[in-house]
Structure formats: C-alpha cells, structure tokens
Amino acid sequence: MRQELQELSAELKNAAPFYSPRYIGHMNSDLLLPGVIAEFMTMMYNPNNVAAEAGPATVPRELEVGWQLARMFGYNTDPEKGTTAWGHLTSGGTIANYEGIWNFREVKFYPIALAEAAGVMGIDFEAVGPEQRKLSEYSKWALVNFSIADTVDLLASVKRQISASGMKPKEVKQFKGIIDRETLVGLGAADFFGKHREIKPPKVIVPITAHYSWDKSLKVLGLGLNNLVLVKTDKKMCLRIDHFEELIDTFENEQIPVLGAVGVLGSTEFSTIDPIDEMLEIREDAYDRGFYFGLHIDAAWGGYMCSLFRREETNQFCEREEVHEDLSYFPSQEIYDAFKAVADSDSITVDPHKLGYLPYPCGAFVARNMGVIDFISQKASYLYDIKDDRSHKSQVEKLINLGQFILEGSKPGAAAAAAYVTHRVVPLNKHHFGRLVKVTIKQCEYFYKKITTLANELDKKVLIKIPFFPETNIICFAVNVKGNDKLALMNFFGRRVFERLKINRFEPLQMKEFVGSYTSLVHGKIDDELAHEVLCDLEIDTQTFVSDVTDSQSQADHIFLFRHSLMSPWLLHRWENKNYIDRYIDYLKELIEAELLKLSKAKPMQQKKKGTSPAESE
C-alpha cells in the first residue's frame, strides 16, 4: 500500500496546479476551505444521498443547498408566497442539463397522456387548463402547449375532481395505469408520435455557444440530434435574438412543439451572457398566442455570479450602480437585464465545482416549480396520493427519497455537506460570495487594460486583438505577426507561443511560468460579420479563412485564441512587488519576442513542415 500510494502521490504532483495563481487556464482554481474541510470530514462517514436513510445528515442539507441556490437566482422558496422552487446536486453541469430536458419532456407530454386515459375510461374533467375548459375540449396541439404551471395545476385539479367523484380505488388504479402507459416514456417515442400523428417530435433550441452536453442530452434522451436547433450568435458571441425569434415563429407556424430553449449564462469558452430577458419576453408573447416552451438557463459557469446581484438581508436584486461599485465596466445594461431575468426562467444548471470553488463532483439542477417532481417520480406519485396533499411539508417529505426524482442513484453526501457548509460560511449575496466573484471580474478588467497596453507596445511587430469585449471573467485574444496576412500562419504562430503555456507530459510542471488555455472561432460557427471584423483587425486576408482544411498543416478553418479564465482570486496580489497579471503580461511579451526571433531566423515562413504544429490534447 505504501508503495502504491507513493507512486500515486508522485504522479499527482504532476497534475495541473489549479491552486496556483499562475494557473490561468480552464475553469479551475484553489478551493474554499469550508468546503474542503466539510468534504473530508463527511467522506469518512461515506453517506449516500440516494435517500435520507443512507444519508440522514446530508440529504436534508442537499435539499437546503437547492433552496440556497434558488434564492440566489430569485426563485421563491417560501411556501407562503406561492410556487416554490427545489434543487439538488448532480455530478456536474452535464447531468443537470439532461435533467432540464428530461423534466420539460415529462411535463410537456403529460396532458396528452391524461386526455387519452380519460377517453379510455370514459371520464372528463371540468374547468382545467389555461382556458378553464373541459379536458376533452382541448386539441392535442393545445395540450402540448400547456405551460409547466398549467400542467401542475391540471394535475391538482384532476386529483380534486377524482376524489370528489367517489371513484373506486380499483378504478383509480386502472386509470393511473393507463396514464402511465400512454405517456411518452410509457409508449416510447416511436409509438407515442406514431399514435399522435398531429404532434411532431419536439425541438430543443440552444445557442451555438452552448456546451456539448446539449448534444449529448438529445442523444441520451433519444430525442434525435436532428431536433437540436442552433441559434446564431452576434458579434459579442451572444445568442442573436432576431434569429431566435425567427426560429420560434417558424416552429409555431409549422406546429412543431418546442420542448425548451436554453440561454447560456456564462458560456464555457468565453463567459458571455445571453439575453435571457429578451428570450423570456419572446416566450411570454408566444405563450399568449398558445405556443409554449420551457426556458432553461445553463449557468454551469456563470450561476454564482448571481450572488453579486443579491442584497444581504432582503435578498433583493441590487441596483446596477451597487453591482458596479469598484468596477470599471461591469455590468453593462444588457448584462444587468439578463441577470435580473434569471428569476423568471423555469430551471437552471449551476456548477458549484466551477465558480462555486468546491471540490468535484458538485453540479446542481434547480427548478422553479417543485410541482414538476410529480411527473418525474419513479413511483408515479400522481394520483397515488389522491388527497392532493401538495403542502410544502409533504412535498419535502417526498424529496427525502431523492433517488426517485433525479437521474442519478447513489451519490456522495460529502458533496452536499461541502456545498451546504460553504454557502453558510460564505453566503450567496453581494457582501460575501459576491465579493469573490467581483474580484474575478475586476481582474478581467485589469487584464484587459494590460493586454491593450502590451498590444500598443508591440504594435510594430505583432497585432494583439481582443475579438469581443470580455464582459465577465474570461478573456480571449489573438496574436498575429505584423505583415502576415495568412490565417494558417497566424494560427501556427499562436500555437508556437502557446506551447510554453501548455501542460505537457514530457516537461516538469514546475518549469512552467504560467499555464493558460486556448480556444478557437470556428468557420461557419461564428457570425460572418464578427469573423470579418476580427480578421480585418488582425490584417488577415479573409479569403484565407476557409471552411475545410485539406491537410492538418493548413490550419485555417478556425481562428486560434489565447483564453484565460481568471478564476483564481489572487491574481492582483503581489509576489515580489508585482502582481500575477503583470507578471503574465511580461512573460507573454517574452514568449512572443522569442518566437518572433525564431521566425525571422527560420528560412521562408512557408517551410513549416511536419511536427511543428503541436498536437491537440484537449
């Protein structure tokens, strides 16, 4: 054991040094102590949060974490004040995104199953749905356009009417069995859509910048990758609202249901913020016309930024000026409006193991309407408890058997303990957790200033350009050699410089001055105007940006960007009289100059032959 552990320990020392302020690569950083300690402490007891029986201390804490996050987003958690939210932890943003789609699906197609079962039983229900009519009077198209709240209310009303009708327990059981069979998951997609031919399989709408877990979610849920619809982005790498609206209009006209639309709050590559407020407006207008879709926010990265917008005592949403204090740019009016609208979404993905500074695995799914749990429960609780006891207390009691309502089964209670203790010690408002978030944004503003200064300083030799303004805490930039107008060479040069910022198995980690990350703007996946502007800025011939590359040497189907997540909160701290960002900028200058020297010594530029372009490992 000693030998194995020593080997492991030795190899672990070569892992990416996330804790270091010289790590400015991916969404990783040093962790918050309350979380680390709580995690260690709890791990020894090994609780399993699949059910309270296996995690009596940690399951209630996990539910509480759900409410802590819900409050940060502005969802209601007070049962006295109406619809309450709920949330739970997942292994990460990926699973939380799957749950978003899964929840939407089970709710959306429930009314059809119910109407079908009622038909078989020869019964009907009075005054249900958005128009308060008989269930049998709704068309199938109307039934798939009930909102989440409509469907939750529908179920409550059905339960009340059944219990008032004096239906026998045996009949209730039969009715329930038919509903179960007639749901989309009961029949399976092929039979369900085969039976209801007027209803086409639904679409899911996400921006191009969406994380690849959205592709996976449609694959896993069997909804067809073909039904994932991508919205174009604008020059700021945010969802283009005109294109979004156009898509919604098209699907409405063609009577194709939309399961959900996703807005990204802090995209993985660029930390850009989609116009959530405008998406919601379009959703509300569509609903008024009888066309409904859920709105999910993928805030895996940016979710914790919401803490910066919440006041301590009242949990009220702050004025823009309050948030702006101590900062130079953040938040623009657009961004402020987007954050404000988060409270009106239907569900949210957030990753405590990203900007929550907690250990892996810790993602979270938060839904605005706790009523959705009745549609996803393994024990199909709808109609079981006919008494319609939807009191907050009884709902919470149900949730104790967490495994019934989530995709995962056994799961770490330690992660729940870590999140809970952290949120208690560093509460999710602007005076506590928000300060941490603010530092990351401040660092980004500082970085922006400094990289601009460096660009001016080196403008005779290289062009350093920031393709779009870094609105939050991730910054990207491109570097081109002055006088070069070919994209392939620019990318080649960028990669050569980046080589020194990359973790490489063959070189001791301790030799690295800094660790960065990179990304690309891929041909056909970005706004044409943006591509044109970026390339012109970099003095690149736009003709050299191509959709296809014939060989791996002519890497010109993308624009290579240096990318830095400025998540470590220590970057403005000084080490030997110079802060880490200044140090990095100086180092970058050195790297660029060294690479320029090599380039000038090399024979003609075209001679970049085999092996010179680094193999991608990400």
Ligand X SMILES: *Cc1c(COP(=O)(O)O)cnc(C)c1O
- Rule CB under 6 A: which residues touch ligand X? 92-94, 97, 211, 213, 264, 267-268, 298, 300-301, 351, 363
- Least gap, CB of 219 to ligand X (angstroms): 15
Pick from 27, 26, 14: nearest CA to 357: 27
Q: Residue 334 carries which side chain, given as an amino acid letter? A: E
- Least gap, CB of 300 to ligand X (angstroms): 3
CB atoms within 10 A of CB 612: 12
Please list, residue by residue across 340-377, b when 16 or more beta carbons sit within 10 angstroms of its beta carbon and e when fewer do.
bbbbbbbbbbbbbbbbbbbbbbbbbbbbbbbbbbbbbb
- Least gap, CB of 241 to ligand X (angstroms): 19
- Least gap, CB of 334 to ligand X (angstroms): 19
Backbone phi, psi, residue 12, to 5°: -60, -30
Pick from 34, 49, 134: nearest CA to 418: 34
Please list, residue by residue across 191-209, b when 16 or more beta carbons sit within 10 angstroms of its beta carbon and e when fewer do.
ebbeebeebebbbbbbbbb
Nearer to ligand X, 209 or 555 (CB): 209
Nearer to ligand X, 192 or 357 (CB): 357
DSSP 47: -
- Least gap, CB of 360 to ligand X (angstroms): 8
Nearer to ligand X, 567 or 571 (CB): 567
- Least gap, CB of 104 to ligand X (angstroms): 17
Cα(115)–Cα(124) distance, integer angstroms: 8
DSSP 412: B
Nearer to ligand X, 254 or 618 (CB): 618
- Least gap, CB of 221 to ligand X (angstroms): 16
Cα(268)–Cα(274) distance, integer angstroms: 12
Dmax of the chain from CA atoms?
Answer: 92
The set of residues, in sequence order, having a beta carbon less than 8 Å from that of 494 and lying 6+ positions away, is 478, 479, 518, 560, 561, 562
Nearer to ligand X, 308 or 348 (CB): 348
Nearer to ligand X, 91 or 332 (CB): 91
- Least gap, CB of 383 to ligand X (angstroms): 34
Q: How far apart are the first and last CA of the chain?
A: 33
Nearer to ligand X, 282 or 474 (CB): 474
Q: Which residue has the tokens 């699906």?
A: 105
- Least gap, CB of 214 to ligand X (angstroms): 8
Nearer to ligand X, 364 or 534 (CB): 364
The set of residues, in sequence order, having a beta carbon less than 8 Å from that of 295 and lying 6+ positions away, is 260, 261, 262, 263, 276, 279, 280, 283, 344, 345, 346
Q: For 545-604, list the strands marked E by DSSP.
A: 558-565, 574-575, 578-579
Query: Tokens standing for 337?
Result: 């409006």
- Least gap, CB of 87 to ligand X (angstroms): 15
Backbone phi, psi, residue 158, to 5°: -60, -45
- Least gap, CB of 426 to ligand X (angstroms): 20
DSSP 317: B
Nearer to ligand X, 271 or 555 (CB): 271
Nearer to ligand X, 294 or 363 (CB): 363
Nearer to ligand X, 92 or 294 (CB): 92
Please report, for residues 13, 130, 441, 555, 561, the alpha-carbon distance to residue 545 in angstroms, rounded to integers and kept in the order given: 41, 51, 32, 9, 14
Query: Tokens standing for 476?
Result: 């990207």
The full 3-state SS of 253-297, as one line of letters, equals: HCCCCEEEEEEEECCCCCCCECCHHHHHHHHHHHHHCCCCCEEEE
Nearer to ligand X, 300 or 426 (CB): 300
Q: Which residue has the tokens 């502005």?
A: 74
Q: How many residues does the chain have?
A: 618
Q: Which residue has the tokens 């006891």?
A: 389
- Least gap, CB of 277 to ligand X (angstroms): 19
- Least gap, CB of 268 to ligand X (angstroms): 4
